[in-house]
Structure 1
Amino acid sequence: MDANVPSETLQHQSKLMETISKLFNNNQLSDINLMVNCKLALKAHRFVLAVHSDVFKSMLDSERWPDSVDHVVHLTEDEDCLAHFEEFVSYLYSGTITLDTENVLPLHVLSEKYNVQELRESTQSFMLVNVTSPSTYNHAITWHKYANLIGLRQLEEECLKFITWNTNTVIKSPDWTLLEPYQLSALLQRSDMVVEDEVVLFQALVSWLSLHPNYAEEMLAHIRYPMMPPEKLFDLLSPGSLPDSIASYLCRESLLVYQAHVLSMETISQRNNMAANPFTMRIYTSERFSQVWDISGYKTMNKIALSKCLSTRHFQLKTEWNVNYSPKGHQILNYTHHIYLPEVVQDDDFSTLTVRLGSCEPADMKHTHKICILLYQCINSQWFVGDVQTLEVPHTGEAKINDLIPLSKRDRYISNGTMKVHLITQTNWENEEEI
């Protein structure tokens, strides 16, 4: 084109999309009717469907599918997808759709079935971002089951991580009772589950069993009864508090609970394997074993070391824990030679955390100590566990994490100038045969 000739490029895509959008479910130029599950009827246009979906294109090819010569195409969809099929087809006309935690999975199913790539990728990304939804809207369990079924490995891993680390949130969601038996069995056997205490987990299991009573014996066997606080166990055994079959099972286990909190571990170990799951702690967030550390004013904080002392009691064992943490790093100055111009001995951004036992009584027990550090992220004004780090703590000396939260990741764990760290203490006994 001659550069001297006047020219102008017109950009009317938005007007074109608006025009096409108006054709959705419109008799104007409609050349096909979609009948879904014999319930939902939609006016459609072969061209629009075929352009966005090679599956529709193949279906509507009269040579490949003789039924397509008819003006009515019958489709069969899952009932959960039926409620969202109309907005799915509307998206094909407009390219616009609003995703939420209720419609995203059905829309992913439909986009997967009809190979609508952009929508499939967008719905998958939405689920990845919104795994950490408040309990009322949380669908991590359903999304995990679906991701496992069709091979969405990243989504599957993120959902499992969230379920394991935020069990207190998940058990309050409507999704909890939808857990498949294989999912629940695997979850109950994990020691890295973050939950308030074993009684809270037991009560959540009772809720699940109300809809799956045939799995009672199998699932109840995975509860770690010695970990139950005796006073809470006493309340659970109040007449009428539990279904008779579950109450009977709990009664059989209650003797060991009371024994574990009254007798010495040497005595208990004569009849029990102390290294087995029933005596292995999960990551309990109750005040018995943990302390939340809200570090406020982070943005204006200097590079200083903070200290926290914890006192815990597990069965007959009393333990004192001393924790030091430098949330922003270290700056150490030497004033020896130049009072007004101190020498910088150390200046770094490493958020070092060190742990030392102050005391452990009785000290002759065959046991080990561990501390779990939960790092919280604030999402939609709610705090969720975003990472868990563990540290073996010796009886003498100190244990250290050189950089608990690297500087490049630190912002994600700060909200309104506050960093929330949760210190969870654990004590586990060794089996005498292994010593």
Structure 2
Amino acid sequence: MLSDVPTSYIKSVGQGAWAAHTEREIGVEKKASRRKKDDINTGRDMVNSGGSVPAVVCLANLCVALCVGAALKPDVVLENSATTLNHSMALVQRMEALLTQGNGSDVILRVQTLNTDEVKVIQVHSLVLTLQSDVFDELLQTRNSTAMVLRETPDCAAVFDKFIRYLYCGDITVRLNQAIPLHKLASKYHVWDLQQGLTQYMTQHLSSDSPTGHVVSWYQYATQIGDVSLQNSCLQYLSWNLSSVLQSAEWSSVSEELLLSLLQRSDLVLQSELELYEALEAWINQNQPSGETAENALKAIRYAMISPQHLFHLQKKSSLMLKYYESVRDLLFLAFQFHAASPVQLAKYFDVNCSLFMPRNYLSPAWGSPWVINNPTRDDRSFSFQTQLGPSGYDASKRVTWNALFSPRWLPLSVRSAYPEQGSLQPTRTDGGRPRIIVTPATSSPDFAGVSFQKTVIVSARKQGKVVVRHVYNFHQSTEEAGDFLLEADLQRRASEYLIDSSLYLHIIVKPLYHSLIVAKK
């Protein structure tokens, strides 16, 4: 199971409600100190004797004991200034002990697992629950006895003791499979700090490894509760790392709604459109969706981005294609026309701006090249690579050479013009400027007519020990460079989230986009 997945630690603001109430200035006089110590001893005697102590009295004695018995010397004492004594961590330990031992408890929670006979009994203090949750406050006011029955789903019941401990201590350790049930409990009982902390935890742990995957289930949960931010984060992660998702056990758990949402996107990062078709075929064979869902999914495949040889193979060998051939026949016919003629000629008769002719972010060599830049802050770097002119079979033999220039501190034209020698390599500046990248064709060609090129730069990073796509930047021929490229990346830091072992891992993709510039005369 998930026992090998490392836990994560979430701490509430102020380390819990009780820590917030105990951080204050303390003035202790000798007579008052003796009175407080007497009260403490009295409280200890009552607890040790097993007598029933009201929760408020017990907790008040606990706070007094902490304030008097754990005074610390301040590191710096300024004359005529106040000093704050912070004993919040010791208080957290005492609060945890209070929950564990049940001393002074005035409420018994009976947590019943739905559709089972399993009941978990927890002794708690109404004051703590009331301070942390207005829902518990209302439930406690309407109860008829010291026992209160709570009915929870199996996943929530399994983590209910961790949830209650958070109310006492203000911190919690979380595993990937516990995020959703804890979030459900935090939402149900209006513990907003915990809810926000868990949402942030899920957003930051999308790339964590788990045997069966977790991003798909988090997406479905976010959709269910209407958390648009978490939903978009999950969808973006799945889109940018789709190749690894397609090869994982998580792919089969993708819902029909999520599947169709992914297939409509142009920012998918994967090896090829053929890889997507094969993964779709496996998903349909395993999940057996309705005929309408299968047809809609197959129509979202961009067949023009698959070579004619592979299209012929699918027509004859794919059982899925044979079953739904009539639904996609027109798309296949249009794809074959695209491969047989010049895209410029095709644009005279067909709308080439539709998604069928829109490439996704393909990682295969025909579309671009990886580029690893060691010590990216050192100086300017250049790199050359080749791509196919376009995905059309008509252009299969045509290649374009591209020059890429990366500058860690790109200088504006007004600054660069101050250098007298034209063509000389500009010195690296550590002040001003920001990372920039420019990708331009090495030569011009008449084949570029009617075509613009979108350059996509994929930046990879290591998160939770796994290499994932950190960011995707798109820019067109007209703008030449991305104004926000690595804008938030601090490449000077060796521990930068954008670096892997002090190197910048890029993958440059060049995608031809066709325009309907010529309209056929009727």
TM-score range, shorter chain: 0.7 to 0.9
The superposition leaves residues 234-279 of structure 1 with CA deviations (integer Å, 9 ceiling, x where unpaired) of: 5545646648525675677545444433433355446642221111
2:456 is equivalent to residue 380 of structure 1: no
Query: 5 Å matches for 1:279-428?
Result: 279-298=357-376, 301=378, 303-314=379-390, 315=392, 316-317=394-395, 318-329=398-409, 348-359=432-443, 363=447, 365-393=449-477, 399-401=480-482, 404-406=485-487, 409-410=490-491, 411-428=496-513
CA deviations on 1:67-110 (whole Å, 9 max, x unpaired) are x53846151x3454344334434544555532122110111011
Map 1:152-191 onto structure 2 (within 5 A): 152-191=227-266
Corresponding residue for residue 191 of structure 2: 116
- Cα distance in 1 between the residues matched to 2:486 and 2:93: 49
User: Structure 1: any 5+ residue segments left out of the alignment?
Assistant: 337-342
Contact 2:386–2:402, Cα closer than 8 Å, also in 1: yes
Within 5 Å, which residues of 2 pair with 1:98-247?
A: 98-134=173-209, 136=211, 138-209=213-284, 210-214=286-290, 215-237=293-315, 239=317, 242=320, 244-246=322-324
Normalized against structure 1, the TM-score is what? 0.81
Q: Return the TM-score normalized by structure 2.
A: 0.69
CA shift at 1:364, angstroms? 6.3
Deviates more, 1:184-193 or 1:273-282: 184-193
Note if contact 2:347-2:515 (Cα within 8 Å) is conserved in structure 1. no
Deviations 1:285-325 (A, max 9, x none): 222101111112336x3x22322232324213334242332
User: Partner of 1:35: helix, strand, or coil?
Assistant: strand
Instruction: Say if 1:334 and 1:345, in contact at 8 Å, map to a contact too.
Output: no
Query: Taking structure 1 as reference, are residues 194 and 345 closer, same or farther at Cα in structure 2, changes over 3 Å only?
Result: closer
Distance 2:484 2:320 in 1: 47
Supply the AA of the counterpart residue of 2:303.
Answer: Y
SS of equivalent to 1:326? strand
On the 8 A contact 1:81/1:106 being kept in 2, the answer is: yes
Sort the Cα spacing of 1:320 and 1:59 in 2 relative to 1 into closer, same or farther, 3 A. Answer: same
Partner of 1:264: 342
State the distance in 1 between where 2:360 and 2:446 align.
22
Once residues 513 and 500 of structure 2 are traced to their aligned partners in structure 1, the CA distance between those partners, rounded to angstroms, is: 34
Instruction: Give the number of the structure whose alpha-carbon radius of gyration is greater.
Output: 2
Aligned AA (2:363) = T
Change (3 A) 1:363 1:246: same
Q: 1:345 to 1:389 in 2, by over 3 A?
A: closer
Letter of the 1:116 partner, please give it: V
Paired residue secondary structure (1:123)? helix
Q: CA RMSD in A?
A: 3.8
Say whether the 8 Å CA contact 2:316–2:322 is kept in structure 1.
Answer: no
1: distance between equivalents of 2:28 and 2:164?
Answer: 44
Q: Cα distance, 1:112 vs. partner?
A: 0.5
In structure 1, distance between residues paired with 2:348 and 2:333: 15
Where do 1:46-125 residues align within 5 Å? 47=125, 49-61=129-141, 64=142, 68-69=144-145, 71=147, 73-75=149-151, 77-92=152-167, 95-125=170-200
Report the alpha carbon displacement of residue 15 of structure 1 after superposing the two structures with TM: 4.4
Question: Which residue number corresponds to residue 339 of structure 1?
Answer: none
Q: Is the 8 A contact 1:135 1:169 kept in 2?
A: no
Q: Could you tell me whether the CA contact under 8 Å between 2:405 and 2:438 is conserved in 1?
A: yes
Q: How many residues align?
A: 419
Structure 1 residue 424: deviation in Å?
0.7
Q: Classify 1:348/1:199 alpha carbon distance in 2 versus 1 (closer, same or farther; 3 Å).
A: same
* Alpha-carbon distance in 2 for matches of 1:418, 1:247: 47
Cα drift, residue 393 of structure 1:
1.6
Conserved? CA contact 2:489–2:498, under 8 Å: no
Q: Which amino acid aligns with 1:97?
A: I
Instruction: Give the Cα separation in 2 of the matches to 1:277 and 1:116.
Output: 45
Rate the CA distance shift 1:159–1:129 in 2: closer, same or farther, 3 A.
Answer: same
Query: Partner of 1:45 in structure 2?
Result: 123
Residues 46 and 60, structure 1, Cα contact 8 Å, conserved in 2: no
1:13 matched to 2:91: yes
Alpha-carbon shift at residue 420 of structure 1 (Å)? 0.7
For residues 196-228 of structure 1, give each alpha carbon's deviation from its aligned partner in whole angstroms, at most 9, with x where no partner exists: 211122223223323152111112111111111
Whole-angstrom CA distance in 1 between matches of 2:477 and 2:300: 27
Unpaired runs of 5+ in structure 2? 1-26, 34-67, 71-86
Contact 2:315-2:321 at 8 Å conserved across structures: no
Q: Which has the higher strand share?
A: 1
Quick one: which amino acid aligns to residue 405 of structure 1? L
